[in-house]
Amino acid sequence: MRNSRRVACSALALALLLGAVTAGAQTLAVGSRIEGFSLRDQHGQAHEVRADTRAILFSRDMKAGDATKAALEDSRGGLLAQAGAVYIADVSRMPALIRRVFAIPGMRRRGYPILLDRDGSRTASFPSVEGSATLLVLDRLRIQQVLHLDSPAEIKAALENAASAEEPGEITD
Where along the chain do its domains lie?
A: 30-164
Query: Taking Cα atoms as reference points, which of 149, 167, 168 lies closest to residue 158?
Result: 149
Q: What is d(CA 43, CA 159) in angstroms, rounded to the nearest whole number?
A: 23
pLDDT score, position 165: 77
**Are the CB atoms for 79 and 159 separated by under 8 Å?**
yes
Asked if pLDDT for residue 14 goes beyond 90, the answer is: no
Residue 57 CB neighbour total at 10 angstroms: 28
The pLDDT of 87-103, averaged and rounded, is: 95
The pLDDT of 22-44, averaged and rounded, is: 86
**What's this model's pTM, rounded to 2 decimal places?**
0.81
CB neighbour class for 90 (10 Å; exposed up to 12, middle 13-18, buried from 19): buried
Residue 88 CB neighbour total at 10 angstroms: 26
> Which CATH superfamily hosts domain 30-164?
Glutaredoxin (3.40.30.10)
Q: What is d(CA 52, CA 141) in angstroms, rounded to the nearest whole number?
A: 8
pLDDT score, position 167: 58
Residue 154's pLDDT band (boundaries 50, 70, 90)? Answer: very high
Residue 107 CB neighbour total at 10 angstroms: 20
